[in-house]
Structure 1
Amino acid sequence: MAEQVMQESETREFQAEAKQLLRLMVHSIYSDKDVFLRELLSNASDALDKLRLESLVDKDLDVDTTDLHIQLERDPAARTLTVRDNGIGMSREDVVGLIGTIARSGTAELLEKLKSAKEAQEAKQTQGSELIGQFGVGFYSAFMVADKVTVVTRKAGESTGTRWESEGESTYTVADVPDAPQGTAVTLHLKPVDTDDGMHDYTDTGVLRRIVTRYSDFLAWPIRMEVERVKPAEDEDGESTTVRETETLNSMKALWARPRSEVTDAEYHEFYKHISHDWADPLETIRLQAEGTFEYQALLFLPSRAPFDLFTRDAKRGVQLYVKRVFIMDDCEELMPEYLRFVKGVVDAQDLSLNVSREILQQDRQIRAMQRRLAKKVLSTVSGLLNSDEQADRDKYRTFWSQFGTCVKEGLVTDPDNRSDILAIASFDSTHSAEQQTTLAEYVERMPDDQEHIYYLTGRSREMVEKSPHMEAFTSKGVEVLILTDQIDEMWVESGAEFQGKTFRSIAKGEVDLDSGDDAADESVKEEFAGLLEWLRGALSDHVKDVRLSSRLTTSPACIVGDEGDMSPELVRIYKQMGQPLPDIKRILEINPEHALVTGLREAHAKNADDPSLADIAHLLYGTTLLAEGEELPDPHRFAQLLAGRLADGLH
């Protein structure tokens, strides 16, 4: 690159997080140094996409778009490689914000993940390079192969450019460049060749041609490079001559427009990595061609792992939108429902306006129809993996559900039209197996003929659910119960969902009838405990709405249950955390008439109903029941005092 006249130069320090990131990336993370070129070419391609779109939207923008391209410039003597584009370019503020710092939320979490990846790599458990791309910091990979990186850029429509330069250590310099060409040129001052360390000669035409063909052949813009060719002599006595000519290195064919038979899996995988900035191959590739009154093509990908920001509120989501091969926008949220926000890919519509905006998309009937069809296509693809005869496909399904199942279950609340399809591909923990999840179809197949409901219990962990007193009768009778531990489970089970005509029934609500047998004996027990129940209702009236005998307990003295239709305590907590305060809901205390504590309490009450110590025992029974459920005590101090008093009495 020719020297530029600079002014207003300043030196700045990297943010502390950027320093750590650079150090990790250069020395620890990447295993294949060649991928730096893919990242720089992808950035250049994005800049060209944005310029073409801006020129279509802003007719007053004075730019030449007749020959948009990317140029690779080599200087073997100086050991430099420049990746140049004539795209949208960057302002000085853009340069400082996008390159000089890592201006994004979650940087600290990113660093922790990278450090963990490094430690695991050192333990030979994983490859750290599998993590880096998903965080969108590919520009920094240039420092793997360069001792110094120089960026000269000018934003379209502005008169002054910017020069950014750093050796990737602690500081970088920024300066104005009056005569910079429009676009961006990234010059790498290359490290010495060291093939043992994966450092190839990136000024060699063969090396560059190989990398472009492997990683960036599908880019829509020409990637050009000046090469030398030997021209044979025109006659026998003449001498051959060396000529310089420009070669286009990539085919520029849009993968979604090519017949499936003409595209290899490797090409699909590289395209996915280009649009997603993920280093891992996708789990599954999905193609869709819609014809008729509204035509579009879609090329979608299911990732093989969840991004770190999957549940971050401000994370970007959506697929890329093109109109007749013209790039319109990244992260088009309107084309994919939020519960499928992890899906990556491209949708190319034939009938939309190039001037389309996000506001227009939100109201467009055709866009909503596209979203419905794309969502159904994704769900049917997952169903195909689940129900495949091939073990490899079923393994893919298990990987998918372990990574994205919690996210997909959000659709049970937000997308009632697809609820049955989502339930059909969902898997859940269950008392049937501690090692493997079950689908609802498998659960129903195992149900006895006379079982009317799909039983479930929600909780904060599998361990807590399995130890819940509500499970006792179901465990003793071998009745299978779904174990639901995701927060979203608390919401969708309340939405009236059904599966194959079976309703979902919480074993912590209502009355449970697991065929107790002798009705006459049951009535006799009720009469025997009638006085105690009535007294407990009065003693605990501030805390419970009713006290009754339980048919769901075998070893615990009592449990707390809700009425049919009541919100669970966990759901109440969730709504309160969301800023929606709800009144406390009184629940029902069920007591086990066969437990020694309960029978002893009945006998003591029958002897002296006015004994004040009985009220203390009643409150201790209620408190221990709450603790067994993982609930908070209404008055922990009083509970502790009562317990200490009873323990002291027992020592005399």
Structure 2
Amino acid sequence: MGKKTTHKFKAEVSQLLDILVHSLYTNKEIFLRELISNASDALEKARFKGQAEGAEDTVAPEIRIACDADAGTLTITDTGVGMTRDELMRNIGTIAHSGTAELTRLAGEGKESLDALIGRFGVGFYSVYMVADEVEVTTRSIEPDAKPVVWTSDGRTDYKLQELDEDLPRGTKIVVRLKEDLASQFTNAAHLKHIVNKHSNFINFPIYVGDERVNTIQALWREPKFQITSEQYAEFYKFLTFDPDDPFDTLHTSVDAPVQFNALMFIPKHGDDPFGMGRENRGLDLYVRRVLIEKQNKDLLPEYLGFVKGVVDTEDLPLNISRETLQDNILMRKISSTLVKQVLDHLAKMAKDDADRYADFWRAHGELFKAGYMDFLNKDKFAGLVRFHSSGLEDEKGLTSFADYITRAKEDQKEIYYAYGPSREALNLSPHLEVFRRKGVEVLYLFEPIDEFVMDALSEFDGWSLVSAEHADPAKLDKFESLEAEDKPEPLSDTEKPVLDKLLARMKDALGDAVTEVKASARLSRSPVCLANPDGNVTSSMDKIMRVMSKDSSIPKKILEVNPDHPLVRNMLTILERDENDPFIEQAANQLYESALLLEGYLTDPHALVGRVQDLLTKSSGWYVASEK
């Protein structure tokens, strides 16, 4: 047995160990992930060496974890390449590419998480001192005639080295003498299995806790697609998400440039929840060489693709990269942009090949997907994938794209019209859409507030303007023929037109500041009046959304548009000619205005309206009875 020698740690290692020992970092279980990752690397090197030399390796590759509660120790053993005495000193005695000054700065700040230190300097082994009073590493190199070496340290200022004469098998055994307050936690076999499953479940070599193999699930994303069955995909999806149903769709991809990674992504059959309470339950699991770096990473896919579940595994990121560094890592941004492109292209192919299947996807995830209106880099792809209900579809559940709308549009039409409402029934009765129904011009129906933001952000599609029906140019609609003969009265004569002007002025006086203007309408045919925004830019629905956001409950001042051809308005003209001061004019003006408010969803107090209706019904029923005699 060789002589035991003592060696001082390099200054920067001593500093780091001091930071680790006194760290308040709570996720101490990370040390086991690091030791397992090191063991996996050693096994990979042994396999590579055997393949390069063409020699058959008779040693079974494995990682074993054993615990002794009485002794308060945890032991991790691998059958990898092992280390020589020089390699041991080089690998554990110093920190490669680190700077003492930088470590001193970090230690002085005291706020940088331990994970960031590990990620920055590649010092995963030292994380064991978060839980250890002493560590003993016994290793024998795969190199011929190499002697076993024992490395021992309490993680303070120095370490001891000793060569052994024993004929030990190749590989490395690490005995961790646990801190007293942590011994019960890390000598609990069930807890150790949980840690392995959480962080190292897809390591490519068997990991045993005691005699039980823990990592039994295959890293399916690493396997060739043509070898994987749909049943295997479904099994992995259920393991990953705990969803009892099979996935709706699967996207398995391998990318070599601009950055190398494998991804296995799934689209569930159902959305997470209808109330947005699961917004944090999103993100892809990020692995580096099969080792979990972050569960549900939020940066790989934008929130509007948050319905996608799955894993991403890359060779190019440093194994211990921290969350802080992840957010600024250029490789992460490249992976993210590639993933977004792949998901959108996959959805576009689904929409093209099977419209009904895509419609099923949209019903499950469309509400979340519509938040992609803010992804300006993928604006065109997003615009091709959004779907809407429409006046042009008889099926109430039917959905249309912008492209499909264009195929049904009128000749010379270059606008895609849309309208927002609480339901299909409400929109079918909307005064703003009367001219569209009369001309047979299709209108997209928007039922969700976010739809307004989608239209506003996109503004056009393939050279066609997206125009609110409320702001449609009457001249552009007039050129289209009506589908049926309009049952309109004789146009107002030259002598009657001044009476209309008087009526509009009288109605404005009756309504006062409640409206900005009362004017004749060119858009109405069946309704007597409608309300329009005075600025002509913001739609009524968008104005309502903005008022809710600013907690403004006041009734907005709008333009009251009056239909000169409606029988009620013609009767009001007759009454006005007979008596300019007839109280019915004021009563009718207020009734029409409040009815329009009711349709727009602004009327908060209906008492005056109801009272007026009852009064008018009483009078009209008397006239009706008298006329029937």
Decide: shared fold, TM above 0.5: yes
Aligned to 1:616: 587
**d(CA) in 2 for partners of 1:460, 1:277:** 35
Amino acid at match of 1:415: D
Contact 1:457-1:481 within 8 A present in 2 as well: yes
**d(CA) in 1 for partners of 2:185, 2:265:** 43
1:639 aligns with 2:606: no
Q: How far apart are 1:553 and its partner, in Å?
A: 2.2
Aligned to 2:57: none
- For residues 132-531 of structure 1, what are the structure 2 equivalents within 5 Å? 159=180, 181=188, 183-184=190-191, 222=206, 253-308=218-273, 311-312=276-277, 314-388=279-353, 393-412=354-373, 414-435=374-395, 436-509=398-471, 511-513=473-475, 514-515=477-478, 529-531=500-502
**d(CA) in 2 for partners of 1:507, 1:286:** 39
**d(CA) in 2 for partners of 1:581, 1:543:** 16
**d(CA) in 1 for partners of 2:452, 2:492:** 33
Amino acid at match of 2:226: S
Contact 2:499-2:577 within 8 A present in 1 as well: no
Aligned to 1:105: none
Q: How far apart are 1:356 and its partner, in Å?
A: 2.8
Q: 1:225 to 1:186 in 2, by over 3 A?
A: closer
Aligned to 2:507: 536
Contact 2:416-2:464 within 8 A present in 1 as well: yes
Deviations 1:285-332 (A, max 9, x none): 112333235322221111121122672265321100112222111110
Q: How far apart are 1:352 and its partner, in Å?
A: 2.1
Contact 2:420-2:447 within 8 A present in 1 as well: yes
Contact 1:558-1:592 within 8 A present in 2 as well: yes
Amino acid at match of 1:636: P
Aligned to 1:118: none
Q: Which piece of structure 1 moves more, 177-186 or 600-609?
A: 177-186
Q: How far apart are 1:543 and its partner, in Å?
A: 2.3
1:574 aligns with 2:574: no
Contact 1:510-1:561 within 8 A present in 2 as well: no
Deviations 1:487-526 (A, max 9, x none): 21122222242111111111123553421789x9699686
SS at match of 2:438: helix
Q: How far apart are 1:472 and its partner, in Å?
A: 2.0
Deviations 1:348-388 (A, max 9, x none): 12222333333333333332332222112111111101111
Q: 1:219 to 1:361 in 2, by over 3 A?
A: closer
- For residues 579-594 of structure 1, what are the structure 2 equivalents within 5 Å? 579=550, 581=552, 585-594=556-565
Deviations 1:391-416 (A, max 9, x none): xx44431211110111111111x212
Percent identical = 32
Q: How far apart are 1:158 and its partner, in Å?
A: 7.1
Q: 1:617 to 1:255 in 2, by over 3 A?
A: same
SS at match of 1:288: strand
**d(CA) in 2 for partners of 1:259, 1:220:** 15
> TM-score, normalization: structure 1?
0.61
**d(CA) in 2 for partners of 1:650, 1:637:** 20
Amino acid at match of 1:290: V
Runs of 5+ consecutive residues of structure 1 not aligned to the other structure: 1-46, 58-65, 72-84, 87-155, 163-176, 188-215, 227-245
SS at match of 1:306: coil
Contact 2:528-2:566 within 8 A present in 1 as well: yes
Q: How far apart are 1:247 and its partner, in Å?
A: 8.5
Q: How far apart are 1:430 and its partner, in Å?
A: 0.8
Q: How far apart are 1:461 and its partner, in Å?
A: 1.6
Q: How far apart are 1:486 and its partner, in Å?
A: 1.4
Aligned to 1:233: none
**d(CA) in 2 for partners of 1:67, 1:560:** 76
SS at match of 1:560: strand
Contact 1:69-1:221 within 8 A present in 2 as well: no
Amino acid at match of 2:437: T
Q: 1:180 to 1:365 in 2, by over 3 A?
A: closer
**d(CA) in 1 for partners of 2:179, 2:535:** 66
**d(CA) in 2 for partners of 1:318, 1:336:** 7
SS at match of 2:325: helix
**d(CA) in 2 for partners of 1:419, 1:330:** 29
**d(CA) in 2 for partners of 1:453, 1:588:** 24
Q: How far apart are 1:448 and its partner, in Å?
A: 1.4
SS at match of 1:335: coil
Q: Which piece of structure 1 moves more, 250-259 or 329-338?
A: 250-259
Contact 1:386-1:397 within 8 A present in 2 as well: yes
**d(CA) in 1 for partners of 2:550, 2:524:** 36
1:648 aligns with 2:611: no
Q: 1:335 to 1:310 in 2, by over 3 A?
A: farther
Q: 1:365 to 1:315 in 2, by over 3 A?
A: same
**d(CA) in 1 for partners of 2:314, 2:511:** 65
Q: Which piece of structure 1 moves more, 379-388 or 632-641?
A: 632-641
Amino acid at match of 1:283: F
Contact 1:50-1:327 within 8 A present in 2 as well: no
Contact 1:219-1:252 within 8 A present in 2 as well: no
- For residues 52-201 of structure 1, what are the structure 2 equivalents within 5 Å? 52-53=32-33, 159=180, 181=188, 183-184=190-191
Aligned to 1:595: 566
**d(CA) in 2 for partners of 1:319, 1:445:** 38
**d(CA) in 1 for partners of 2:536, 2:325:** 40
**d(CA) in 1 for partners of 2:232, 2:439:** 54
> TM-score, normalization: structure 2?
0.63
Contact 1:283-1:396 within 8 A present in 2 as well: no
Amino acid at match of 2:222: A
Deviations 1:194-218 (A, max 9, x none): xxxxxxxxxxxxxxxxxxxxxx997
Amino acid at match of 1:262: Q
Q: How far apart are 1:248 and its partner, in Å?
A: 5.9
Amino acid at match of 2:336: Q
SS at match of 2:310: strand
**d(CA) in 1 for partners of 2:542, 2:64:** 55
Q: 2:524 aligns with which of 553, 559, 574?
A: 553
**d(CA) in 2 for partners of 1:426, 1:445:** 16
Q: How many residues align?
A: 451
Q: Which piece of structure 1 moves more, 618-627 or 536-545?
A: 536-545
Runs of 5+ consecutive residues of structure 2 not aligned to the other structure: 1-26, 38-60, 67-74, 77-176, 195-199, 623-629
**d(CA) in 1 for partners of 2:239, 2:250:** 14
Q: 1:352 to 1:185 in 2, by over 3 A?
A: closer
Q: 1:369 to 1:309 in 2, by over 3 A?
A: farther
Contact 2:390-2:445 within 8 A present in 1 as well: yes
